[in-house]
C-alpha cells in the first residue's frame, strides 16, 4: 500500500475509536453522579461520622463527574481501541507473530481490568482506612472531590500498568532478548525495582507501595513460568552423523586429484586436438583448391 493510503486507513481507525468512546460516554453521562458515588464509596465508608466530601471549586460538582465519565468511557472502549490497532498492524506481521500478538492483546486487556479491580476492592479500603485513622486530633477529614478523583485515577493507572508485567516478560523472552534462566537470576534486582516503582507510582505510604510491589513480583514469576511454554523452538539439527556423511562422500584424500577434474581436462584436450585437426584439413583443402584454380588459369592462357 502507498504511504498516503496507510495514513488514510490510520485516520479511519482513529475515527472509529473516537466514535466508540463518544457513544459510550453519551450512554454513561446520565449516570455520572451515580458513578462518582460508587467510586467514592471506599473513602466515604471510612470518613468520620458527620463528615463528607467537599467541592472547593465552583465548577467541580459538574466537571469532576464529567471527567470521571470520560475516563471511564475510554476504559470501556479499550477493547475497541486494541482491535483497531491490531487490524492496522496485522497485515504486516508473519503468521506466527499474529498467533502470539492477538492472545497477548486480549490477556493484557484483561490484566489491566484486573489491576483496576484489585486496586478498588483491596487497595482503596486499606489505604483510606489508614489515612483517616492517622488524622491528628481535631482535624476533620473532608476530601475535595476533584483531588480524590485524581488520586484514584493515578492508582488505577498504576495498578493497571503493573499488571502488564507478565506480558512484558513473555515478549522479552519470546523475542530472544533474554531467557527464563537469565531473568530468574536477576530476581533480587526485580524485587528492588518493583518496590521502587511502587514508591514512585503510589502515595507516600508503605501500604500502597507494598500492595503494588508484591503483585508485580508475583506476576513476574508467572510471566517466567508461562514464557517457558512460548519460547520459539530452535531449528531442527541435521540427523546425519559424521560417519554417514564420510561414508556417503568421496573417499579421495585432500591431496589426491579429483577424478572429475581429470576427466574434464582430458575431454578439453581431445576437443582442442579435434579442432586443430579440422583446421589443418580445411587449410589443406583450401591449398588444393588454389592449385587447381591456378592450373585452369594456365590452360586458358595457352
21-49 pLDDT per residue, tens: 999 999 999 999 999 999 999 888 888 77
Does residue 64 surpass a pLDDT of 90?
Answer: yes
Q: Which of 140-144, 274-278, 279-283 has the highest mean pLDDT?
A: 140-144
Query: Residue 154 domain-assigned?
Result: yes
Q: Which domain holds residue 202?
A: 164-233
Asked, for residue 119, whether it belongs to a domain, the answer is: yes
pTM as predicted: 0.67
Instruction: Based on the fold, state whether residues 106 and 217 are members of the same structural domain.
Output: no
245 domain-assigned: no
3-state secondary structure string, the chain?
A: CCHHHHHHHHHHHHHHHHHHHHHHHHHHHHHHHHHHHHHHHHHHCCCCCCCCCECCCCCHHHHHHHHHHHHHHHHHCHHHHHHHHHHHHHHHCCHHHHHHHHHHHHHHHHHHHHHHHHHHHHHHHHHHHHHHHCCCCCCCCCCEHHHHHHHHHHHHHHHHHHCCHHHHHHHHHHCCCCCHHHHHHCHHHHHHHHHHHHHHHCCCCHHHHHHHHHHHHHHHHHHHHHHCCCCCCCCCCCCCCHHHHHHHCCCCCCCCCCHHHHHHHHHHHHHHHHHHHHHHHHHHHHHHHHHHHHHHHHHHHC
Domain count of the chain? Answer: 2
Instruction: Indicate the pLDDT class of residue 284, thresholds 50, 70 and 90.
Output: low
Query: Are residue 211 and residue 225 in the same domain, yes or no?
Result: yes
**122, 148, 163 — which closes off a domain?**
163
Out of 36-40, 51-55, 175-179, 220-224, pick the least confident: 175-179
Could you tell me if 169 and 151 lie in one domain?
no
Same domain, 9 and 151: yes
Residues 158, 168: one domain?
no
The answer on pLDDT for 194 being more than 70 is yes
Query: Is 53 a member of any domain?
Result: yes
21 and 97 inside one domain: yes
Do 132 and 193 share a domain, yes or no? no
* 266 confidence band (pLDDT: 50, 70, 90): low
Give the residue from 209, 233, 257 where a domain finishes: 233
Across the range 179-189, mean pLDDT stands at: 85
The predicted pLDDT at position 224 comes to 84
- The residue out of 107, 135, 163 marking a domain boundary is 163
Q: Is the domain of 151 the same as that of 169?
A: no
Residue 230: per-residue pLDDT: 64
Which comes out higher in pLDDT, residue 234 or 177?
A: 177
Q: Is 275 within the bounds of a domain?
A: no
Lowest mean pLDDT among 133-142, 177-186, 193-202, 287-296: 287-296
Is 248 part of any domain?
no
Amino acid at each position: 500500500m502507498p504511504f498516503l493510503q496507510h495514513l488514510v486507513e490510520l485516520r479511519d481507525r482513529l475515527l472509529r475509536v473516537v466514535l466508540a468512546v463518544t457513544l459510550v460516554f453519551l450512554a454513561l453521562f446520565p449516570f455520572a453522579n451515580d458513578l462518582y458515588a460508587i467510586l467514592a464509596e471506599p473513602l466515604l465508608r471510612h470518613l468520620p461520622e458527620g463528615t463528607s466530601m467537599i467541592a472547593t471549586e465552583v465548577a467541580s460538582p459538574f466537571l469532576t463527574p464529567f471527567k470521571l465519565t470520560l475516563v471511564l468511557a475510554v476504559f470501556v472502549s479499550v477493547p475497541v481501541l486494541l482491535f483497531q490497532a491490531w487490524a492496522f498492524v496485522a497485515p504486516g506481521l508473519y503468521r506466527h507473530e499474529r498467533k502470539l500478538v492477538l492472545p497477548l492483546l486480549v490477556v493484557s486487556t484483561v490484566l489491566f481490568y484486573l489491576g483496576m479491580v484489585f486496586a478498588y476492592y483491596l487497595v482503596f479500603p486499606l489505604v483510606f482506612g489508614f489515612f483517616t485513622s492517622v488524622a491528628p486530633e481535631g482535624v476533620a477529614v473532608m476530601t475535595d472531590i476533584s483531588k480524590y478523583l485524581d488520586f484514584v485515577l493515578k492508582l488505577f493507572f498504576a495498578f493497571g500498568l503493573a499488571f502488564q508485567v507478565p506480558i512484558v516478560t513473555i515478549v522479552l523472552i519470546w523475542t530472544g532478548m533474554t531467557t527464563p534462566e537469565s531473568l530468574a537470576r536477576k530476581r533480587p534486582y526485580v524485587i528492588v525495582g518493583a518496590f521502587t516503582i511502587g514508591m514512585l507510582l503510589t502515595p507516600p505510604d508503605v501500604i500502597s507501595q507494598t500492595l503494588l510491589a508484591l503483585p508485580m513480583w508475583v506476576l513476574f514469576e508467572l510471566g517466567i513460568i508461562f514464557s517457558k511454554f512460548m519460547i520459539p523452538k530452535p531449528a531442527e539439527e541435521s540427523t546425519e552423523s559424521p560417519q554417514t556423511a564420510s561414508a556417503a562422500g568421496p573417499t579421495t584424500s585432500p591431496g589426491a586429484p579429483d577424478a572429475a577434474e581429470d576427466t574434464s581436462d582430458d575431454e578439453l584436450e581431445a576437443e582442442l586436438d579435434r579442432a586443430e585437426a579440422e583446421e589443418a584439413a580445411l587449410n589443406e583443402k583450401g591449398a588444393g583448391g588454389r592449385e587447381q584454380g591456378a592450373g585452369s588459369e594456365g590452360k586458358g592462357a595457352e
